Chain A
Amino acid sequence: MTLEQFVPFVPEIALAVAALAVLLAGIPMGRKAPRALALLSVAAMAVSAILVVLYATPSAGPEVILGGMLSVDGFGVFFKLLFLLAGAITLLMGVGYVVRAGYGYGEFASLVLFATVGMMVMASGANLASLYVGLELMALSVYILVGYFKLEVKSNEGAVKYFVLGALSSAILLYGISLVYGGLGTLELGAIRDALAAGSPSGRVVGLGIVLVSFGMLFKVAAVPFHVWTPDAYEGAPTPITAFISVAPKAAAFAMFLRLFLGAFRPAIGQWHGVLWVAAAATMIYGNLAALTQDNVKRMLAYSSIAHAGYALLGIVAANAMGAWSLLLYMLIYTFMNLGAFGFVALLESRGYAGELVTDYAGLAKRAPAAAAGMLILMLALAGIPPTGGFMGKLYVFSAAVQAGYVWLVVIAVIMSAVSLYYYFRIVVQMYLHDGDGSELAALVRDRWLEIGIAACVVVVLILGVWPAPALGWAQAGLAALGF
């Protein structure tokens, strides 16, 4: 192993160093100059993003470095840039929120940076060990972030539930990994794939291992029946963190999911596709039906994000090139939709911590037409109505599943996505069809950075809906890493 091999890993190293620096700088600056600290963190992310692009070697094809720990490929580049973008938007949207609540910003920014480093490793891991280390770096940072408002009961409670179930899922994942290791004698994804393709001798052990790994991953993407932590963690977390954990860790988990199941375990598809398509169907049905009855906006969006994990799972269930391709695109679009939607939740001042109700939006179209129009676009996107990115994302995922022959699964998916319109439009109804006269109205927070973050999300969602061709190209560049 030479020092040169570390070069493609420099973006992660740089970001980790920046995270430490921000943590230190946060001691004097966390309360006094939070905005400068935010700009510093975002600058670090920008540098990291530039390095990712510079060291990307799309022409050379996938290359494994550092003793088989990491893979350098288009897949990693796509997801790393996505995480960096999501992290940067979170940092900007979070400043005002954290400061208004009276907490320090230094640890907040530092933890977001650490989580991003973890996710970047998850997206490029070529070894079960490195994938696991990335996953835990992300997860540990996120547990703290969910409980960041330590004086709020809901925040603490969300963190406790997230922590217990998250650690449990990690253990199940690890147990599965240990069985796969025992059965195949290797932890490297490439070697696992070759061994499975050759037909392994201890099939039952490996099969059980793969199923346990799939349980662990389903936990991480919040799929039914492993979703129970999601509504509480999402509701309890500070809203910008809810936005963050609903997109970035989920996208990272899907990146790892793809690397594991379409990359390494694809030859053993018979072992796992039954588990996954049942989980996908259950997730789509339960997520959407449960969201119908929620009055708390954060909780409703939590169930909606469970439902979206179900749609995204279709890409893995399809197990074809189109499936992986569509899942990459879906994660890109979903990231902006959900970041924007939760951003709007943060924009509306609530009565008491995490008490945002659907009725808080009453008459918003009259009071703040631009905000209402933005929220309308995001709700349409989440429901998958054109001309928004949400439609394009669903179109490709459903296409992949139809191509693979899962027509009935797609029928469930499209009907459920029609159902989802009902709960997304409960907010629209409040904004546009109710005057909100006579009731005590939640005011809009004045927060320039938050507004900019949301506006960026809305614009990207619209652009991805009207002109998705370039994004499709970027996503396609990631397919070679999975062997398509």
Chain B
Amino acid sequence: MGFIQHHLLNIICYLPLAGALLIIFGIRKENTKAIKAVATVVAGLDFLASIPLWFLYRPDGPEFQFVVRGEWIPKVGVQYYFGVDGFAVLLILLTTLLTFISIYSSFTAITHREKEYYVFLLLLSTGMMGVFMSLDFVLFYVFWEVMLVPMYFLIGVWGGPRKLYAAIKFFLYTLVGSVLMLVGILALYFYNSTGLEAIGLPGLGNAATFEIPKLYEIAPHIPPELQFWIFLAFFVGFAIKVPMWPFHTWLPDAHVEAPTAGSVILAGVLLKMGTYGFVRFSLPLLPDATMKAVAWVGPLAIIAIIYGALVAMAQKDMKKLVAYSSVSHMGFVMLGMFALNAPGLRGAILQMINHGVSTGALFLLVGIVYERRHNRLIAEYGGIAKVMPLYAMFFMVMTMSSIGLPTLNGFIGEFTILIGAFNHSWVWALFAATGIVLGAAYMLWMYQRVFFGELTNEKNKDLKDLNRREQWTLIPLIILAFWIGLYPKPFFRIMEPTVTRVLERVGAAAPDRPETPAALRAVSEHHEEPAAEPAEASSETE
């Protein structure tokens, strides 16, 4: 137990790195079988290693658990400091699972330069894990940027026709955001210690530190003026990552060009880092600025919801459609978060997981037909439910999960967010509900055009249905979708301490409502729209 408490995070974070080094130095590049085997086993072990977090994390315990801590650069107060709360545990589990799935799903999709491919995927995994575990700003920033490099290569080497453009656009966009965030971090650091001489900020005279829990304590002392600027610096960094409208333009390019596994990780984990940053840093560290920012972040989120949905509706390419749906769904997360009340934040966190599961699965599904046909245009398909019945079923479940059908995960997340948004203002809730309707419309319309009707295209006549491996990449996500949809309580339980603490720090904990699944269902009966459309949806499937 002691050993696990002290080393578990290190193991989870660096196991993929060790695997990558093993592949680089231990296996020749011709031996693709061994490379695939090692990558899969390492990713699988990493997932298994992360499962104890779920069971051993105690919501009633200290804020951050499994702490690993040591000096790194003592002269400037930088520590090597890992620790997780329930929120991070959820995201780490999502990351390890999606890493495993994306590696497992790439066996036939990637046919050249396999060695580098799996090395980059594993390195990416270490980078992502470090982001969710770091409790020191410099350490966090290091992982945050490290992760960009393998992602750049995943898009740039194994991507589609415009891969070079998409890869560098992704890298530059996120880099510009993160370097500005660095300026914010430094301002915070010096405000806490020596101050910023020339602009007349004396500083608090505390010991110089980048430690996040320590910085939480100084949050109330930061003058609102400074808070605003730091919030802005953080906002650019995180909003580009989310991505919020109008910073989203890198996302469709990156998604469309990335290989399937890249898209899965990008949508499933990388986008979550933006929202993770808001919950972990912006909200609790800069409460005054956050309260003021609600007035403009909320509308931006609403624009993202509506705009993402409308653009998705106009897409001819399946992958691009799913990409734009991400913009819309991440808008929901931001909206729930900036409602600044318990249901909103809970919903936002849960929806982060949901989006990882459903969108990850949808990218996998699109990738599966793409691998067979090398084409993603909706118009190229039609009626393929006849030749690929199993595929059609899996796709249906994930579509329903994405649009929020009750009994599936999307419903719980979107609904909790709606409650939060409604508690904040009925206008927000109205727009959010509109977004849900639009979401159902474009997803179902795509589903209808791809799977139903006559099988007109000759090339689709002998499409093979899912094979065993492809099924196994999807089954865990489907189980997860149903689990969250039917019994979300453990998820809410593990994130509750984070929600409470963040809202305490923001100082805006709105009057709470009972938030058991039963209560959720009770509320849903009063609410017409979301319950109504899934009904429509299911009638269409018959």
- Contact, chains A and B (beta carbon distance below 8 A): yes
Chain A residues within 8 Å of B, Cβ to Cβ: 320, 365, 380, 385-387, 391, 395-396, 398-399, 402-407, 410-411, 414-415, 417-419, 421-422, 425, 429, 432-433, 468-469, 472-473, 476
Known: A320-B197, A414-B180, A417-B179. A468 touches B168 (CB 8 A): no
Whether A410 contacts B183 by the Cβ 8 Å rule is yes
A407 contacts B196, C-beta separation under 8 Å: yes
A385-B149, A429-B164 known; A421 and B171 CB under 8 Å? Answer: yes
Report how far A386 CA is from B164 CA in the complex, Å. Answer: 22
Spot the interface stretch: B73-81, B336-344, B376-384.
B73-81
- A421 to B169 Cα, complex, angstroms: 11
Cα(A387)–Cα(B201), bound, Å: 31
Q: Give the Cβ gap from A308 to chain B, nearest Cβ, in Å.
A: 16
Contact between chains at B156 and A399 (CB < 8 Å): no
Q: Are B75 and A385 in contact (CB under 8 A)?
A: no
CB-CB under 8 A from B148, the residues of chain A are: 385
State A425–B153 Cα separation when bound (angstroms). 11
User: Are A407 and B199 neighbours in the complex by a CB distance under 8 Å?
Assistant: yes
Contact indicator B146/A469 (Cβ below 8 Å): no
**Which residues of B come within 8 Å of A, CB atoms?**
71-76, 116, 138, 141-142, 145-146, 148-149, 152-153, 156-157, 163-164, 167-168, 171-172, 175-176, 179-180, 182-183, 186-187, 189-190, 194-201
The answer to whether A386 touches B145, judged by C-beta atoms less than 8 angstroms apart, is yes
Shortest distance from the beta carbon of A408 to any chain B beta carbon, whole Å: 10
Residues of A within 8 A of B189 (CB): 399
- Nearest CB in chain A to that of B167: its residue: A433
Interchain CB contact under 8 A, B157 and A386: no
Quick check: B145 and A385 within 8 Å, CB to CB?
yes
In whole angstroms, what is the CA distance A410 to B179 when docked? 10
Residues of B within 8 A of A365 (CB): 116
A472, B73: Cβ atoms closer than 8 Å: yes
List residues of chain A with CB within 8 A of the CB of B157: 432-433
Q: When chains A and B are docked, how far (Å) is the Cα of A365 from the Cα of B200?
A: 51
Contact of A403 among B145, B164, B179, B194 (CB under 8 A): B194
B138 touches A395 (CB 8 A): yes
Pairs A–B under 8 Å by Cβ, sample size 5 = A405-B201, A414-B183, A418-B179, A421-B171, A469-B74
Q: How far is the CB of A276 from chain B (nearest CB, A)?
A: 14
Name the CB-closest residue of A to B152: A425
Q: Which residue of A lies closest to B198 (CB)?
A: A405
Q: How far apart are the CA atoms of A380 and B76 in the complex, in Å?
A: 23
Other-chain contact of A421, B141, B175, B199 (Cβ < 8 Å): B175
Residues from chain A with Cβ under 8 Å of B72 in the complex = 469
The residues of A that contact B180 with a CB separation of less than 8 Å are 411, 414-415
A422 and B168 contacting across the interface, CB-CB below 8 Å: yes
B75 CB contacts on chain A under 8 angstroms? 469, 472-473, 476
Roughly how many angstroms separate A387 CA and B140 CA in the complex, as a whole number?
A: 12
Residues of chain B lying within 8 A (CB to CB) of residue A469: 71-75
Q: How far is the CA of A365 from the CA of B171 in the complex (A)?
A: 20
CA distance A407 to B176 in the complex (A): 16
Chain B contacts for A406, CB-based, 8 A: 198
Bound: A404/B182 CA distance, A: 16
Q: Report Cα–Cα, A125/B196, bound state, in Å.
A: 32
Closest 8 CB pairs of A and B: A405-B198, A414-B179, A386-B142, A402-B186, A405-B199, A418-B175, A418-B176, A405-B196
Q: How far is the CA of A433 from the CA of B167 in the complex (A)?
A: 11
B172 touches A422 (CB 8 A): yes
Q: Assess the B149–A403 pair: CB atoms within 8 A.
A: no
Measured in the bound complex, the distance between the Cα atoms of B196 and A403 in whole Å is 5
Q: A386 CA to B123 CA in the complex, in Å?
A: 13
Is there an interface contact between B198 and A432, defined as CB atoms closer than 8 Å?
Answer: no
The chain B residue with its CB closest to the CB of A399 is: B186
Q: In the assembly, what is the distance between CA of A387 and CA of B27, in Å?
A: 25
Q: CA–CA, A76 to B148, complex, Å?
A: 39
Nearest-CB residue, chain B, relative to A373 = B24
| Cross-chain contact of B179 among A320, A404, A405, A415 (Cβ < 8 A) | A415
Residues of A within 8 A of B172 (CB): 418-419, 421-422
CA distance A405 to B186 in the complex (A): 11
Rounded to whole Å, the gap between the CB of B114 and the closest CB of chain A is: 13
Say how far A83's CB is from chain B's closest CB, in angstroms.
24
The answer to whether A404 touches B186 (Cβ under 8 A) is: no
A432 touches which one: B146, B153, B182, B196 (CB < 8 A)?
Answer: B153
Q: Is the CB of B171 within 8 A of A402?
A: no
Which residue of chain A is the closest to B73 with respect to CB atoms? A469
| Neighbouring B residues of A407 by C-beta, 8 Å | 183, 187, 196, 199
Tell me, in angstroms, the Cα distance from A468 to B80 when the chains sit together: 13
